[in-house]
Amino acid sequence: MKFPVRFTNRDRHAAGAAGQRRKPIIGVLALLLVAAGLQACSAVKIAYNQAVELSFWQLDGYFDFNDTQKPRVREELAKVLQWHRQTQLPVYIEALQRWQTWLPGEVTEAQACAVFDEVRSKLQVISDRALPGAGSVAATLAPEQLNAMQKKFSKLNADYRSEFIEGTPAALLEKRYKKAVSRAEMLYGSLDE
pLDDT 10s digits, 107-148: 888 888 888 899 999 999 999 999 999 999 999 999 999 999
The pTM (predicted TM-score) of the whole model is 0.65
User: Helix crossing, 143-160 with 51-63: angle to 10°?
Assistant: 100
- Residue 164 confidence (pLDDT): 84
Collect all residues with Cβ–Cβ distance below 8 Å to 126 and sequence separation of at least 6.
Answer: 80, 84, 88
User: How many CB atoms are located within 10 Å of the residue 190 CB?
Assistant: 8
Residue 193 has pLDDT above 80, yes or no: no
Q: Which of 179, 29, 182, 175 is nearest to 191 (CA)?
A: 182
3-state SS, residue 191: coil
Per-residue pLDDT tens for 70-107?
A: 999 999 999 999 999 999 989 988 988 888 888 778 88
What's the CA gap between 80 and 130, in Å, rounded? 6
Residues in the chain: 193
- CA–CA distance, 143 with 153 (Å, rounded to integer): 15
Strand, helix or coil for residue 1: coil
User: pLDDT tens digit string along 37-74?
Assistant: 656 677 778 888 899 999 999 999 999 999 999 999 99
146: enclosing H helix or E strand:
helix 143-160
